[in-house]
Amino acid sequence: MHIGMVGLGRMGMNMALRLMQGGHTVSGFNKSAENTSKAEGFGIKAVRSLEELAESLPAPRIVWMMIPAGSPVDETIESIKGAIGPGDIIIDGGNSYYKDSIRRYHALKEIGIRFLDVGVSGGIWGLTEGYCLMAGGDEDVYKTLEPVFQTLSQSEGCLFCGGPGSGHYVKMAHNGIEYGLMEAYGEGFELLKASPYGAELDLSRIAHLWNRGSVVRSWLLELLESALNKDRGLEAISGYVADSGEGRWAVKEAIDAGVALPAISEALYRRFRSRQDDSFAEKVLVALRKEFGGHSVKPESE
């Protein structure tokens, strides 16, 4: 099949390459001239505009977006929908909010354009290992594109989840679980590092050990082993942890549904805390301890 890929960053470029390796043809568009040139070097049919991308595709046109969630997705859809028509398909493979995907599905359906929301997991390893794909929309559209999804994914690594928005909803829950798992590993290895045996413990070997039959074995633990092998104490990186937004959406959905997500919520809040060098909340704690108990205060300059 011939796919038009919008967004040739870390994920989009690798997905385009995997599609080509599977025998598909890929036209690609990226705002960055550097990435466009890189795509041409890989054999991707790079174009300089969304209109040119649409012109390069046979009917029914298939446009796959791998771009940041929010306004960039709406702007891209607005720009390209005039260049495509009824029966053509737009796929959003980014981390969009599921309610935005429902809205986009219905707006495009009114003009005859089909829309799938596809959660994609696999990161930078997807090119060689394959991706995990979670699709929402119309099942007949999914079936039409199943050869594409099977090329991108591992064996049994793609699933039609349900109606519009369901693919991104499942991906939101997936990322919430990811937050909780990463936080648990972080806390456990911090305990090991602070233990009486901290100096003699080889954390990378412990990570390797735990992936040999332990109930906590996982790919994340393999990645941690790799990181610790490169930098034993992780001295070269700061503890600032960003978030893509999906953890926030998961917590909001849980509140609306009355579902308790204590581990995922705490993992999200820990990420927020990681971005503060000196929390005002903790200054309040110090001030209160001084006021009610006369406890000593460490001056800011120390």
Choosing from 45, 81, 171, 225, which is the catalytic residue?
Answer: 171
Residues paired with residue 190 on neighbouring β-strands, in sequence order = none
Residue 156 annotated among the catalytic residues of the structure: no
Terminal Cα distance for the chain, rounded: 64
Question: CA 297 → CA 51, 213, 276, distances in Å?
Answer: 63, 48, 20
Answer positive or negative: Cα dihedral of 3, 72, 241, 185.
Answer: negative
Beta strands across the sheet bearing 2-6 = 45-47, 25-29, 2-6, 62-65, 89-92, 114-121, 131-136, 153-162
Residue 109 annotated among the catalytic residues of the structure: no
How far apart (Å, rounded) are the C-alpha atoms in residues 158 and 9? 22
Choosing from 51, 55, 129, 178, which is the catalytic residue?
Answer: 178
Residue 64: helix, strand or coil by DSSP? strand
How far apart (Å, rounded) are the C-alpha atoms in residues 228 and 190? 13
Q: Which 8-state DSSP code applies to residue 111?
A: T
Instruction: Report the catalytic residues.
Output: 171, 178
